[in-house]
Amino acid sequence: MSQELPQIIPAPQPEVEETFSAYQTTREFYHEVQGRLEFKRYCEWYYTTAEMHRQELQKMRGELNIFRWFRRL
């Protein structure tokens, strides 16, 4: 029976290996591109949020601090 298996199961063809290699390379490339786009979006969100926080801090520094009155007691 074991002598019949090599005849039943064909050996992988070079075309299949090349196709699989190309598929794997393409998949890795698109995965890398997707990761970079997600990172770029995150950085843009982070910088936008940080700028909003800076503006809010400047606004808060200009407001009257009523809590300082209570701490002087």
Q: DSSP assignment of 26-64, as one string?
A: HHHHHHHHHHHHHHHHHHHHHHHHHHHHHHHHHHHHHS-
Percent of the chain at pLDDT > 90 equals: 52
Please tell me the predicted confidence (pLDDT) of residue 38.
Answer: 98
Is the pLDDT assigned to residue 33 strictly greater than 90? Answer: yes
Give the side-chain half-sphere CA count within 13 A for 6.
Answer: 1
Is the pLDDT assigned to residue 42 strictly greater than 70? Answer: yes
